[in-house]
Structure 1
Amino acid sequence: MGRDAKTLLSPKGIVERFRAVLTDSSHQSIAQRVAGTAFVIRVMSAAIAYVSQVLMARWMGSNEFGTYISVWVWVLLLGHISNAGLASAAQRFIPEYGEKADQDGLRGFIAGSRIIGVLAATIVAGLGLLVLWRFGHLVAQPMLMPLVLAAICLPLYVLTDIQDGIARSYNWTDLALGPPYLIRPVLLLAGMVVGYGLGLVADAVTAMACAVIATWTTAIIQFWLIQRRLAGQVPAGPKRVEAGFWLRTSAAIFLVEAFYMALTYTDVILLKQLSSAEEVAIYWAAVKTLALVAFIYFSVAAAAAHRFSEYHVAGDREKLAAFLQASIRWTFFPSLAATILILALGKPFLMLFGPDFVKGYPAMFVVSAGLLARAAVGPVERLLSMSGHQGVCALIYGAAFATAVILCLVLIPRFGMMGAATATAIALTLESVLLFWITRRRLGLAVSFWAKHRPVSAA
């Protein structure tokens, strides 16, 4: 080992590199700080959520807990879809308006995107309530009232989602992630504790009622905080609303988001339909235990998307290639380390939910293979969406989603939660392979955690 390497690995060298990351104003250092902040927030959120879900599982029992999880998954799925892609599009439009010094367009998007998102979610919620009113007799009775509460939750969930995208575009990770990932779960946990103390029935209805209160309160707090900080960044003035342009551009991003969310929750939804609520609860606990791995990917993506857009608009291919490779390395190596650690401690974590939850331990190994495949290509789908290739990105996610559905329908009846885990892992691996191939072919960029950042020739 040379002298330079020894210096870098010495305690003094490590401290110096850490200090450089904290003080350097380069885009990569800023992105590392944003990703690090996002990761810390998600880990804190996971700890809060883990405690709350352990308590809820023990208070409610696996059957009621499984019902609550199934309904909340619908909130997550429809919430991310109902924003019409505007949450992610914010990280494209805000840097673009800023690069062009288009203040009227910037003000219009910040205000208009939130209005459009809430209106779209309200329409979706209204249609959902209409379906429940007309066909409620076909829904299992324990699911009916929680689904009604889920519809009430939806509009303000979507507002939070869009405000997340706005705040990320300014590197305000605290305002982007703090409210939905810290304030909301704390309020949910507090609501359940209060309900338990008041002697309310510990069932899915009580849990969803607490979720509605937590979601609405969080959205209002986040709105107020963002407006205060925007006042110092965006001067007051006229707004130019280009709703048609925004929605046309975000349509393909919407499909990417829709397929991404569908792929994320297909296993849980189909497991609920094809198996028991108890098995859903066990599988959910196993998947949530692996959340630390997914948080790394999420955190890097949160820091990278608007930088991809900025470099693409500026035509700076060299910086784009270098930043892509850096973001892949930031994703893969920490994900690998986290996977090894979590799998080593998986059984004790699952025991916290109850003795029966250890049955989900083998599924953790299978799902982790898919998560590592996704980590190996980093947030490359954000690059495609921010550089005008959102259409082909949507096709890739559509193919992965279709694969997951088909495999779940085939494997779950025979193998239960292991079938769901296998279907998810295969779909994630297919998604990663296709993203790797398309990015090299369309953009001519190297996509791997070991490659140099030099661009490769496009086909």
Structure 2
Amino acid sequence: MTVVQASEADLPEKSIRRTFALASRLRARLGAKDANGAASRMALIAFVIRVISAAIAFVSQIIMARMMGEHEYGIFVFVWVLVILVGNLSCLGFHSAQIRFLPEFVTNNDIDQVRGLTTTARIFALVSSSTVALLGYFALSLFGETIESYYLIPLTIGLFILPMIALGDTMEGTARANSWALIALSPTYIIRPLLILVFMIGFVHFGEPKTAVTAMTAGLAATYLTTVVQFFNIDHRLRKTFETGPRRVEFGAWVRVALPIFLIEGFGFLLTNSDTVVTGLFLPPGEVGIYFAASKTIAFVQFVMFSVKAASGPQFSALYAAEDRSGLARFALSSTRWTFWPVLAVGLTALLFGKFLLSMFGSGFVSGFDVMVILFLGVLGRSLVGPAESLLTMAGEQILCVKLYAVALAANIILNLLLVPMLGIEGAALAAAGAMWIEAIMLHLAVRNRLSITLFAFARHPVAADGSKE
């Protein structure tokens, strides 16, 4: 679930309709062609950056895995996933609430609230994440003896990274709300992973050991440098665009929107990362490293789903706002087919070269091929209903989406707790795949019941709002 989708999903139906009306007025002012062109450029830039990021992440993880070995690499990826997860969630949805409010404030020429929200979001992110970091430090002090010793120092370093992760996510939200796609996404998805690799290689070159502690130190340096530069860059753009002036803060209204975003994004983020976290809790670091490498190798398949979501979301909005239910049904089915068949083709290609790709991490990582196969079957099942959650969100069914994600997350965690101790990393893969199938079934039923649309890749016809086939 992308940040934009999550930020839109918190709105009640009346607010969604108001947002559509604002978008319509903006298109009228700028011209529909220019507005659509800007949206298309934003989506294209976002997709290109994510693809480049995936390639960088894949290559950098191979290099770091070969440098550190399975054990130390497993420690690093487990702690790093925790840091990214907790850092993002510690914003409590405020980073994405900007994407909901800032365009509306700009459209209404309410620049005082623009200044107030951007400033408040930064302060809130730093305070909340620092509070979480302090609580984490006290937890390590009290319960450190119950944690494996090789995790303690990396976890402590991770606590110092949390505030910069939260601030970086907040600055990304500010930039995305202003359609500054390149400076919004490139720091997190391109610059930071490159700097982690550069710092790691540099530290090792000057005699530091090839351990998870060194890798986390590289992550600390890269995150602070990236976030600080991003902060001053975006702050300069804000001052240049809106100039200095008074700030108006409506914290209560913003929190009421931010918290639903937090729930939706939190469920989605936990759903994506819970398997790695649970494997770290039950399995030795070497197994965690193998699982992470396998999951990241097959993750290329998910970029097909990401691209279709990015392209279909605005069209879903327009068709639903125009009350063109027949067109919405046809487009939804078409989007589903454009999701499933490319996922099948890309996934089979990835599996064809799977053992070779895993061997690039190191000879011991080839044992993760079965994990790749199982995860691919899960992604394939999820692709059968295409961008269903985006369709529901654009149709005002955001509360239902929260409930579905909560059920899918609960199923994922329960399956992980049951299967990982028994089957190891294959159990984690089965849990993740099972949760994806459960999610797909629930989304299919939800779309059918709420929108009267049959969203299934092999469906011959969509079902329009009046129940007739198109």
**Structure 1 partner of 2:256:** 248
Q: Equivalences for 1:427-438 in 2 at 5 Å? A: 427-438=435-446
Quote the Cα distance in structure 2 between the aligned partners of 1:452 and 1:228.
51
Moved more, 292-301 or 428-437: 292-301
**Structure 2 partner of 1:359:** 367
**Structure 2 partner of 1:209:** 217
Q: Which amino acid aligns with 2:429?
A: A
Quote the Cα distance in structure 2 between the aligned partners of 1:391 and 1:199.
53
Quote the Cα distance in structure 2 between the aligned partners of 1:140 and 1:76.
21
Quote the Cα distance in structure 2 between the aligned partners of 1:89 and 1:333.
34
Quote the Cα distance in structure 2 between the aligned partners of 1:423 and 1:62.
23
Quote the Cα distance in structure 2 between the aligned partners of 1:134 and 1:308.
52
Moved more, 137-146 or 30-39: 30-39
Moved more, 171-180 or 314-323: 314-323
Distance 1:333 1:116, change over 3 A: farther
Match of 1:230 among 225, 230, 238: 238
Distance 1:92 1:297, change over 3 A: farther
Deviation, structure 1 residue 317: 3.9
Quote the Cα distance in structure 2 between the aligned partners of 1:94 and 1:46.
29
**Structure 1 partner of 2:20:** none
**Structure 2 partner of 1:15:** none
**Structure 2 partner of 1:108:** 116
Q: Does 1:288 align with 2:300?
A: no
Deviation, structure 1 residue 315: 4.2
Match of 1:272 among 257, 269, 280: 280
- Of all paired residues, the percent bearing the same amino acid is 39
Q: Does 1:65 align with 2:60?
A: no
Distance 1:46 1:113, change over 3 A: same
Moved more, 270-279 or 120-129: 270-279
Asked whether the equivalents of residues 452 and 463 of structure 2 are also in contact (C-alpha less than 8 Å), the reply is no
Quote the Cα distance in structure 2 between the aligned partners of 1:232 and 1:446.
48
**Structure 1 partner of 2:227:** 219
Match of 2:144 among 121, 133, 136: 136
Deviation, structure 1 residue 109: 2.2
Quote the Cα distance in structure 2 between the aligned partners of 1:295 and 1:143.
32
Moved more, 37-46 or 262-271: 37-46
- Number of corresponding residues: 433
Quote the Cα distance in structure 2 between the aligned partners of 1:454 and 1:236.
52
**Structure 2 partner of 1:9:** none
DSSP-derived class of the 2:442 partner:
helix
Distance 1:158 1:66, change over 3 A: same
Q: Equivalences for 1:153-232 in 2 at 5 Å? A: 153-231=161-239
Deviation, structure 1 residue 445: 5.9
Asked whether the equivalents of residues 253 and 390 of structure 1 are also in contact (C-alpha less than 8 Å), the reply is no
Q: Which amino acid aligns with 1:275?
A: L
What root-mean-square deviation, in Å, do the aligned CA atoms of Structure 1 and Structure 2 show? 3.0
**Structure 2 partner of 1:456:** 465
DSSP-derived class of the 1:289 partner:
helix
Q: Which amino acid aligns with 1:419?
A: G
Distance 1:107 1:370, change over 3 A: farther
Q: Does 1:259 align with 2:231?
A: no
Moved more, 193-202 or 158-167: 158-167
Match of 2:61 among 53, 65, 74: 53
DSSP-derived class of the 2:179 partner:
coil
Asked whether the equivalents of residues 351 and 373 of structure 2 are also in contact (C-alpha less than 8 Å), the reply is yes
- CA displacement, residues 252-279 of structure 1 (integer Å, 9 cap, x when unaligned): 2211111112111211121122222211
Deviation, structure 1 residue 147: 0.5
DSSP-derived class of the 1:290 partner:
helix
**Structure 1 partner of 2:156:** 148
**Structure 1 partner of 2:82:** 74
**Structure 2 partner of 1:91:** 99
Distance 1:144 1:30, change over 3 A: same
Quote the Cα distance in structure 2 between the aligned partners of 1:235 and 1:317.
40
